[in-house]
Structure 1
Amino acid sequence: MSRTLVATLLCGLALLLGAGPASAAVTVGSSLRARADLFTRCDSFCTELQVARPGGLPAATIPSDGVITRWRVRAATQGLVRLRILQPLEDGSYVAVAESDPQVLQRGHAPGRDVIYEFAARIPVREGDQIALDRDRRAGAVFHSYGSDASYATATFAPVLGDAPAVPQPPAAGRELLLNADLERDADHDGLGDESQDSCPQVPADTPDVPCPPREEPPPVVTPVGPGTQTGTEGPTVTGEGGPSRPTGRSPRPHSRAPKVRHSPRRPVVRNESHRTGRPVRGTPPRRSERTRSGHTQHPKVRPAPPRRTERRPTGHAQEPKKRATPPHRSPEHVEPHARKPTRRQDPPRPKGRRNRRHATHPHVKPNPPKPPAPPGFEPH
């Protein structure tokens, strides 16, 4: 890589790094990672301020002039809150310089849980100002407790801080106020954030007649040609079947001949003479597509489709199928001999029941005389 290319890349990287922090929004205050688990009492409206954080960092101080566009609070109770901007004085007192509209905390949550609220705003601030929170007596769970850790501390103004300078109560150690705000630049000083509120940061909002100039975009980075880069040249002329031509890249690969395939002979039809019924049985039919020795494909014979009911004559006209003639209608009086109904065969007469001749009495037949009684003492064997 040449020195010119390295220098160009370093310059572009420096411009990007230099322009990033100046145009990006800055969040001032707590990170809101901890849960709201501490409730403090307040008789009426009071103002809460973070005065100490770990590492000696500024608690809630505005780093540069700009506009506050959003602010957030994490709370475990409901109530009324408001963002207030304080200006510290040399004697240790504070004075209020701006405030937001009051907001209501009314979202429900399960026991042991909290809610992060976010509100839009447009509050111009100056470098060195501090953010604070006004709250009523119900919205007391806006703190996180760190026990006896003195690196965290908050101060309270009771009643709420007004236009007159006032000194807060003694700080309470081990508390973090769960409050932060987003700060954006205001290049034209029109009270609008350049990133989310101002459509033309170069022109103030009170001069609508002035057109907004187009935004300057960074020039594209061009890679210079170093000593190691060379310009290609055209290749030699190639003469072939199609005439002279230029090589287009790699030479074409010659076509390889396919190996010859040995084809099996066609299977003959085998008839089984020893079939049970005595009929000849057709052997295994040949495949649909068999290759001959010449290498061509021989298709099997296709059985022609049966003719349709309506065939066409050679002249091209359709020939309707012949219809069966309907027999003529005959009157019921004219009946041919073969059309007579067959005579129903009568059943033979049933034989009459025979009389019981034993009980029958005839006048010419005399009844048998009764047998004489046997003599006493004699019994037939």
Structure 2
Amino acid sequence: MITELNLKNFKSIKSKKFQLRNLNVVIGMNGQGKSSFIQSLLLLRQSDIFEDQLLQLNLGNTGIINLGSAKDVLYQYAPEEESVSYSITFDNENLLEFSTTYNADSDILPIEYRNTNIDIALQSIVKEPLFTKRFQYLNAQRIEPSDENRASYTSVILNDDLGINGQYTAHYIDKFGDKPIAFDNLLHSNSFIKDEILEQDLIKSSLLEQINFWLGEISPKVSVKTKKITNSLVLLGYEFAQSGVGFTNEFAPQNVGFGISYSLHVITAILKARKGDLVIIENPESHIHPRGQAELGKLIALAAQNDVQIIIETHSDHIINGIRVAVKENNDLSDRVIMFYFEKLFNSDEQFSQITDINVDKNGSLDIYPKNFLSEWSNQLFKLM
């Protein structure tokens, strides 16, 4: 797990030491630097920092992000003698510390390590989730609902990955839907049933069953159906329970709305997590009703009770409040959650992201309420009065 990221001169982040926890919630208005923080980690993952010792800003279709040239990532007001630098610490106390060499038009930044015994450090750091298959990233541009979805042996079977756009979610469910999820605290309340004939309690704990239960918080009584028909194609559909009748006919995803399909990727990413995983999700609330957003916030928070690290970027008060309620109901979450509020600070000679750390106490209350944070609902209501 990443415990600290000290970032300097990266895009709008002039200098900031991020003290990371199990659940890290990145919030703020558009264009305030939230994505820059996430990109700083994705850049490390996609770059060859171990052998060629480079930050690679563009890898085309084979990369996670494309950031342009060095002048696009260097903080524009940085002193001439400075460039982008990182210091990242992991929970096993491994430290990775380096500066970079700046060439404005280049799309690579050579690394100059400042660690002592760097070869020994790299041997341990290469095993961290950020650099292994214990990593899942979902960006904000997830695939549109479709009954035909891509399959990938390499991504799903070998790398345990849904794809950065969720393009392999249907294949993942088809392959691993019958496997039990890793953490009991993520079992939905509907998971526990009593078999009257056998006179024993049963638990529905498979990935597919749990996806259906949690997806039911987005769209009641929905069930996911998958069928792999070729090595490169999986069919995806939804059906709905009808009391006393069974189920409706199967509907194509494009006929039941964006919210179900968009939330399917997020719910699957959280439920498939295992001990030691790192999960990064942008805008988990996209296309989802406010009540469903709150339940999704609860699920994300519950996952953080385990040895999983989650980073989410969100604009949703409902996601945030769902997390806060989960903390109040599970007090041990308090020390596992932190929020980072981004806002631009404008001076006469520079502008940069000012980042406020916000803690959540055992009652779900925040220790700091920055101006304009969680206030827009009341702002608009006041105008209606």
Give the TM-score normalised by structure 2: 0.19
Please state which structure has a larger fraction of its residues in helix: 2
Q: Which has the higher strand share?
A: 2
Larger-Rg structure: 1
Select the structure with the greater relative contact order (CA < 8 A; seq sep ≥ 6).
Answer: 2
